[in-house]
Amino acid sequence: MPLFEGVPLNVLHWVNERCEVVRVFAGQTLLDPSHRNDAIYIIISGFAQVRNPGADGQALAYLMEGQCVGEMSVIDGGQPSARVVADTDCMLLVIESQTLWELIGMAPVVARNLMRTLSSRLRYDNEVILESLRMQRVFEHDARVDPLTGMHNRRWLCEMLDRQIQRCNMSGEELSILMLDVDHFKSYNDRHGHLAGDCALQSVAQALREGLRVSDTTARFGGEEFVAIFPGVGLKAARGIAEQLRQAVSDYPVRDYQGNPLPGVTASIGLAALEPGQDRDRLLDAADAALYRAKNAGRNRVSE
Protein backbone atom coordinates (compact mmCIF):
# COMPACT_ATOMS: atom_id res chain seq x y z
CA MET A 1 0.00 0.00 0.00
CA PRO A 2 1.52 3.35 -1.05
CA LEU A 3 0.72 4.98 2.31
CA PHE A 4 2.89 2.45 4.18
CA GLU A 5 5.85 2.40 1.78
CA GLY A 6 9.08 2.55 3.83
CA VAL A 7 7.22 2.32 7.18
CA PRO A 8 9.08 0.12 9.76
CA LEU A 9 7.51 -3.25 10.55
CA ASN A 10 6.94 -2.47 14.22
CA VAL A 11 4.92 0.62 13.23
CA LEU A 12 2.82 -1.52 10.88
CA HIS A 13 2.08 -3.85 13.80
CA TRP A 14 1.02 -0.81 15.83
CA VAL A 15 -1.34 0.26 13.00
CA ASN A 16 -2.75 -3.25 12.84
CA GLU A 17 -3.55 -3.14 16.56
CA ARG A 18 -5.08 0.35 16.52
CA CYS A 19 -7.11 0.35 13.29
CA GLU A 20 -10.29 -1.44 12.34
CA VAL A 21 -11.01 -3.34 9.13
CA VAL A 22 -14.62 -2.91 7.97
CA ARG A 23 -16.71 -4.28 5.14
CA VAL A 24 -18.95 -2.07 3.00
CA PHE A 25 -21.32 -3.18 0.30
CA ALA A 26 -21.66 -2.05 -3.31
CA GLY A 27 -23.53 1.25 -3.48
CA GLN A 28 -22.76 2.22 0.12
CA THR A 29 -21.48 5.77 0.62
CA LEU A 30 -18.04 6.16 2.20
CA LEU A 31 -17.71 9.94 2.01
CA ASP A 32 -20.33 12.62 1.49
CA PRO A 33 -19.69 16.39 1.15
CA SER A 34 -22.62 17.05 3.48
CA HIS A 35 -21.07 15.05 6.35
CA ARG A 36 -17.86 15.61 8.28
CA ASN A 37 -15.13 13.02 7.85
CA ASP A 38 -12.56 12.06 10.52
CA ALA A 39 -10.81 9.06 8.98
CA ILE A 40 -8.74 7.81 6.08
CA TYR A 41 -10.01 4.71 4.32
CA ILE A 42 -7.54 2.38 2.61
CA ILE A 43 -9.06 -0.09 0.16
CA ILE A 44 -7.89 -3.61 0.98
CA SER A 45 -10.14 -5.25 -1.60
CA GLY A 46 -12.76 -4.06 -4.07
CA PHE A 47 -13.26 -0.80 -5.94
CA ALA A 48 -14.82 2.59 -5.15
CA GLN A 49 -16.07 5.51 -7.26
CA VAL A 50 -15.37 9.19 -6.73
CA ARG A 51 -18.55 10.88 -7.91
CA ASN A 52 -19.53 14.41 -8.84
CA PRO A 53 -21.34 15.89 -5.81
CA GLY A 54 -23.89 17.46 -8.18
CA ALA A 55 -27.24 16.07 -9.14
CA ASP A 56 -25.92 13.89 -11.98
CA GLY A 57 -23.58 11.95 -9.67
CA GLN A 58 -21.23 11.23 -12.58
CA ALA A 59 -18.20 9.05 -11.79
CA LEU A 60 -15.06 11.20 -11.87
CA ALA A 61 -12.50 8.54 -10.90
CA TYR A 62 -12.15 4.98 -9.66
CA LEU A 63 -10.15 3.85 -6.63
CA MET A 64 -8.66 0.37 -6.43
CA GLU A 65 -6.90 -1.86 -3.92
CA GLY A 66 -4.14 -0.09 -1.99
CA GLN A 67 -5.43 3.42 -2.65
CA CYS A 68 -6.76 5.67 0.11
CA VAL A 69 -9.50 8.23 0.32
CA GLY A 70 -10.52 10.87 2.87
CA GLU A 71 -7.04 12.23 3.51
CA MET A 72 -7.82 15.78 2.35
CA SER A 73 -10.72 16.31 4.74
CA VAL A 74 -8.65 14.84 7.60
CA ILE A 75 -5.69 17.11 6.87
CA ASP A 76 -7.60 20.37 6.40
CA GLY A 77 -10.49 19.60 8.74
CA GLY A 78 -13.05 20.46 6.07
CA GLN A 79 -15.88 18.55 4.49
CA PRO A 80 -15.11 15.93 1.81
CA SER A 81 -14.84 17.53 -1.64
CA ALA A 82 -16.64 14.70 -3.45
CA ARG A 83 -18.93 11.77 -2.82
CA VAL A 84 -17.21 8.38 -2.63
CA VAL A 85 -19.31 5.25 -3.12
CA ALA A 86 -18.34 1.57 -3.04
CA ASP A 87 -18.46 0.28 -6.61
CA THR A 88 -18.20 -3.32 -5.39
CA ASP A 89 -18.21 -4.92 -1.97
CA CYS A 90 -15.07 -3.59 -0.28
CA MET A 91 -12.85 -4.29 2.70
CA LEU A 92 -11.43 -1.08 4.15
CA LEU A 93 -8.75 -0.26 6.69
CA VAL A 94 -10.03 2.71 8.73
CA ILE A 95 -7.40 5.06 10.20
CA GLU A 96 -8.97 7.67 12.48
CA SER A 97 -7.53 11.18 12.31
CA GLN A 98 -5.92 11.05 15.77
CA THR A 99 -4.29 7.73 14.89
CA LEU A 100 -2.99 9.19 11.63
CA TRP A 101 -1.24 12.09 13.40
CA GLU A 102 0.30 9.68 15.89
CA LEU A 103 1.41 7.46 13.01
CA ILE A 104 3.10 10.41 11.26
CA GLY A 105 4.90 11.23 14.52
CA MET A 106 6.20 7.67 14.77
CA ALA A 107 7.06 7.33 11.04
CA PRO A 108 7.47 10.69 9.25
CA VAL A 109 7.77 8.77 5.98
CA VAL A 110 3.96 8.48 6.09
CA ALA A 111 3.74 12.26 5.62
CA ARG A 112 5.92 11.96 2.52
CA ASN A 113 3.68 9.19 1.19
CA LEU A 114 0.60 11.32 1.81
CA MET A 115 2.20 14.19 -0.09
CA ARG A 116 2.89 11.88 -3.01
CA THR A 117 -0.72 10.73 -3.00
CA LEU A 118 -2.06 14.28 -2.91
CA SER A 119 0.42 15.38 -5.58
CA SER A 120 -0.64 12.63 -7.96
CA ARG A 121 -4.30 13.53 -7.40
CA LEU A 122 -3.60 17.21 -7.95
CA ARG A 123 -1.74 16.41 -11.17
CA TYR A 124 -4.66 14.28 -12.36
CA ASP A 125 -7.15 17.01 -11.45
CA ASN A 126 -5.09 19.58 -13.37
CA GLU A 127 -5.07 17.33 -16.43
CA VAL A 128 -8.84 16.91 -16.18
CA ILE A 129 -9.31 20.69 -15.88
CA LEU A 130 -7.04 21.41 -18.86
CA GLU A 131 -8.85 18.84 -20.98
CA SER A 132 -12.18 20.28 -19.88
CA LEU A 133 -11.07 23.79 -20.87
CA ARG A 134 -9.82 22.50 -24.21
CA MET A 135 -13.15 20.78 -24.89
CA GLN A 136 -15.01 23.92 -23.79
CA ARG A 137 -13.06 25.96 -26.35
CA VAL A 138 -13.86 23.36 -29.01
CA PHE A 139 -17.57 23.43 -28.15
CA GLU A 140 -17.63 27.24 -28.12
CA HIS A 141 -15.88 27.30 -31.49
CA ASP A 142 -18.25 24.71 -32.97
CA ALA A 143 -21.27 26.60 -31.62
CA ARG A 144 -20.28 29.69 -33.64
CA VAL A 145 -18.73 28.24 -36.78
CA ASP A 146 -20.47 26.66 -39.77
CA PRO A 147 -18.76 23.29 -40.38
CA LEU A 148 -19.29 23.30 -44.17
CA THR A 149 -17.85 26.69 -45.08
CA GLY A 150 -15.68 27.42 -42.04
CA MET A 151 -17.45 30.78 -41.73
CA HIS A 152 -19.09 32.08 -38.62
CA ASN A 153 -22.71 31.00 -38.24
CA ARG A 154 -25.97 32.81 -37.60
CA ARG A 155 -25.57 32.73 -33.81
CA TRP A 156 -22.20 34.47 -34.02
CA LEU A 157 -23.54 36.93 -36.59
CA CYS A 158 -26.43 38.01 -34.37
CA GLU A 159 -24.11 38.58 -31.41
CA MET A 160 -21.63 40.54 -33.55
CA LEU A 161 -24.35 42.61 -35.21
CA ASP A 162 -25.83 43.57 -31.84
CA ARG A 163 -22.41 44.81 -30.68
CA GLN A 164 -21.78 46.71 -33.90
CA ILE A 165 -25.19 48.40 -33.79
CA GLN A 166 -24.68 49.43 -30.18
CA ARG A 167 -21.23 50.84 -30.99
CA CYS A 168 -22.50 52.74 -34.03
CA ASN A 169 -25.47 54.16 -32.15
CA MET A 170 -23.08 55.53 -29.52
CA SER A 171 -20.45 56.84 -31.95
CA GLY A 172 -22.71 57.95 -34.81
CA GLU A 173 -20.65 55.87 -37.23
CA GLU A 174 -22.30 54.44 -40.34
CA LEU A 175 -23.02 50.72 -40.68
CA SER A 176 -24.21 48.74 -43.69
CA ILE A 177 -24.94 45.08 -44.24
CA LEU A 178 -25.60 42.87 -47.24
CA MET A 179 -27.60 39.68 -47.51
CA LEU A 180 -26.49 37.39 -50.33
CA ASP A 181 -28.47 34.46 -51.73
CA VAL A 182 -27.12 31.95 -54.26
CA ASP A 183 -29.36 32.04 -57.32
CA HIS A 184 -31.47 28.96 -58.16
CA PHE A 185 -29.61 26.89 -55.59
CA LYS A 186 -32.33 24.24 -55.30
CA SER A 187 -32.19 23.64 -59.04
CA TYR A 188 -28.38 23.44 -58.82
CA ASN A 189 -28.69 20.73 -56.17
CA ASP A 190 -31.33 18.87 -58.18
CA ARG A 191 -29.20 18.94 -61.34
CA HIS A 192 -25.74 18.26 -59.93
CA GLY A 193 -26.34 16.67 -56.52
CA HIS A 194 -26.05 17.88 -52.95
CA LEU A 195 -22.29 17.29 -52.77
CA ALA A 196 -21.86 19.60 -55.74
CA GLY A 197 -24.11 22.11 -53.96
CA ASP A 198 -21.85 21.92 -50.92
CA CYS A 199 -18.83 22.64 -53.12
CA ALA A 200 -20.63 25.62 -54.62
CA LEU A 201 -21.38 27.04 -51.16
CA GLN A 202 -17.73 26.60 -50.17
CA SER A 203 -16.68 28.51 -53.30
CA VAL A 204 -19.10 31.34 -52.50
CA ALA A 205 -17.74 31.52 -48.95
CA GLN A 206 -14.17 31.69 -50.27
CA ALA A 207 -15.07 34.39 -52.76
CA LEU A 208 -16.56 36.46 -49.94
CA ARG A 209 -13.53 35.94 -47.70
CA GLU A 210 -11.15 37.04 -50.42
CA GLY A 211 -13.25 40.05 -51.40
CA LEU A 212 -13.85 41.60 -47.98
CA ARG A 213 -11.73 44.06 -46.02
CA VAL A 214 -10.06 42.99 -42.78
CA SER A 215 -12.56 45.10 -40.82
CA ASP A 216 -15.58 43.46 -42.50
CA THR A 217 -17.17 40.34 -41.11
CA THR A 218 -19.29 37.72 -42.79
CA ALA A 219 -21.26 34.63 -41.81
CA ARG A 220 -23.40 31.91 -43.29
CA PHE A 221 -26.89 33.00 -42.33
CA GLY A 222 -28.53 29.73 -43.23
CA GLY A 223 -28.91 27.47 -46.27
CA GLU A 224 -27.54 29.36 -49.27
CA GLU A 225 -27.71 32.78 -47.59
CA PHE A 226 -24.75 34.80 -46.33
CA VAL A 227 -24.58 38.12 -44.50
CA ALA A 228 -21.68 40.58 -44.41
CA ILE A 229 -21.28 43.53 -42.03
CA PHE A 230 -19.52 46.73 -43.14
CA PRO A 231 -18.66 48.96 -40.15
CA GLY A 232 -17.99 52.59 -41.00
CA VAL A 233 -19.46 52.20 -44.49
CA GLY A 234 -22.51 54.01 -45.87
CA LEU A 235 -24.94 52.63 -48.40
CA LYS A 236 -23.23 54.17 -51.45
CA ALA A 237 -19.83 52.71 -50.63
CA ALA A 238 -21.43 49.41 -49.62
CA ARG A 239 -23.02 49.13 -53.05
CA GLY A 240 -19.60 49.29 -54.68
CA ILE A 241 -18.33 46.53 -52.41
CA ALA A 242 -21.44 44.45 -53.05
CA GLU A 243 -21.03 44.73 -56.83
CA GLN A 244 -17.45 43.53 -56.53
CA LEU A 245 -18.56 40.59 -54.38
CA ARG A 246 -21.36 39.71 -56.79
CA GLN A 247 -18.88 39.61 -59.64
CA ALA A 248 -16.36 37.65 -57.55
CA VAL A 249 -18.97 34.97 -56.80
CA SER A 250 -19.90 34.75 -60.48
CA ASP A 251 -16.23 34.43 -61.54
CA TYR A 252 -15.10 32.07 -58.78
CA PRO A 253 -14.44 28.51 -60.02
CA VAL A 254 -16.39 25.67 -58.43
CA ARG A 255 -14.74 22.27 -58.18
CA ASP A 256 -15.87 18.99 -56.67
CA TYR A 257 -13.94 17.18 -53.92
CA GLN A 258 -11.75 15.46 -56.52
CA GLY A 259 -10.86 18.78 -58.14
CA ASN A 260 -13.05 18.37 -61.21
CA PRO A 261 -14.74 21.54 -62.51
CA LEU A 262 -18.42 22.13 -61.78
CA PRO A 263 -20.78 24.80 -63.16
CA GLY A 264 -20.41 28.13 -61.43
CA VAL A 265 -23.10 30.03 -59.58
CA THR A 266 -24.36 33.59 -59.34
CA ALA A 267 -25.80 35.48 -56.39
CA SER A 268 -28.39 38.14 -55.66
CA ILE A 269 -27.59 40.72 -52.99
CA GLY A 270 -29.72 42.99 -50.85
CA LEU A 271 -28.22 46.03 -49.10
CA ALA A 272 -29.39 47.96 -46.05
CA ALA A 273 -27.87 50.73 -43.92
CA LEU A 274 -28.44 51.21 -40.22
CA GLU A 275 -31.02 53.88 -39.43
CA PRO A 276 -31.47 55.70 -36.09
CA GLY A 277 -33.24 53.54 -33.52
CA GLN A 278 -33.04 50.44 -35.70
CA ASP A 279 -32.29 47.10 -34.01
CA ARG A 280 -30.70 43.98 -35.45
CA ASP A 281 -33.92 42.29 -36.57
CA ARG A 282 -35.18 45.38 -38.40
CA LEU A 283 -31.84 45.87 -40.11
CA LEU A 284 -31.82 42.24 -41.26
CA ASP A 285 -35.43 42.56 -42.43
CA ALA A 286 -34.47 45.60 -44.49
CA ALA A 287 -31.60 43.68 -46.13
CA ASP A 288 -33.90 40.71 -46.74
CA ALA A 289 -36.49 42.93 -48.40
CA ALA A 290 -33.78 44.39 -50.65
CA LEU A 291 -32.64 40.86 -51.51
CA TYR A 292 -36.15 39.96 -52.69
CA ARG A 293 -36.17 43.05 -54.88
CA ALA A 294 -32.94 41.83 -56.48
CA LYS A 295 -34.49 38.41 -57.11
CA ASN A 296 -37.69 39.85 -58.54
CA ALA A 297 -35.65 42.09 -60.86
CA GLY A 298 -33.99 39.06 -62.47
CA ARG A 299 -31.34 37.85 -59.97
CA ASN A 300 -27.53 38.18 -60.19
CA ARG A 301 -27.77 41.83 -59.18
CA VAL A 302 -27.58 44.19 -56.18
CA SER A 303 -30.60 46.01 -54.80
CA GLU A 304 -31.09 48.46 -51.93
User: Known catalytic residues?
Assistant: 224
Instruction: Please state, in angstroms and as integers, the Cα–Cα distance from residue 273 to each residue in 217, 231, 282, following that order.
Output: 15, 10, 11
211 and 248 Cβ atoms separated by less than 8 Å: yes
1 SS3 class: coil
Q: Where are the alpha helices (DSSP H) in 62-184?
A: 71-76, 97-106, 109-144, 154-171
303 and 293 Cβ atoms separated by less than 8 Å: yes
- Which residues partner with 220 through β-bridges? 226
Q: How many CB atoms lie within 10 A of CB 167?
A: 12
Residue 279: what are its φ and ψ, rounded to 5°?
A: -100, 180
Instruction: Please state, in angstroms and as integers, the Cα–Cα distance from residue 230 to each residue in 160, 207, 254, 272, 280, following that order.
Output: 12, 16, 26, 10, 14
279 SS3 class: coil
**181 vs 228: CA distance, rounded Å:** 12
238 and 271 Cβ atoms separated by less than 8 Å: yes
**Residue type, position 6, single letter:** G
Kindly write down the DSSP assignment for every residue of 23-89, as one continuous string.
Answer: EE-TT-EEE-TTS---EEEEEEES-EEEE-SSTT--EEEEE-TT-EE-HHHHHH----SSEEEESS-
Provide the pairing of β-strand 59-63 with 48-51: antiparallel
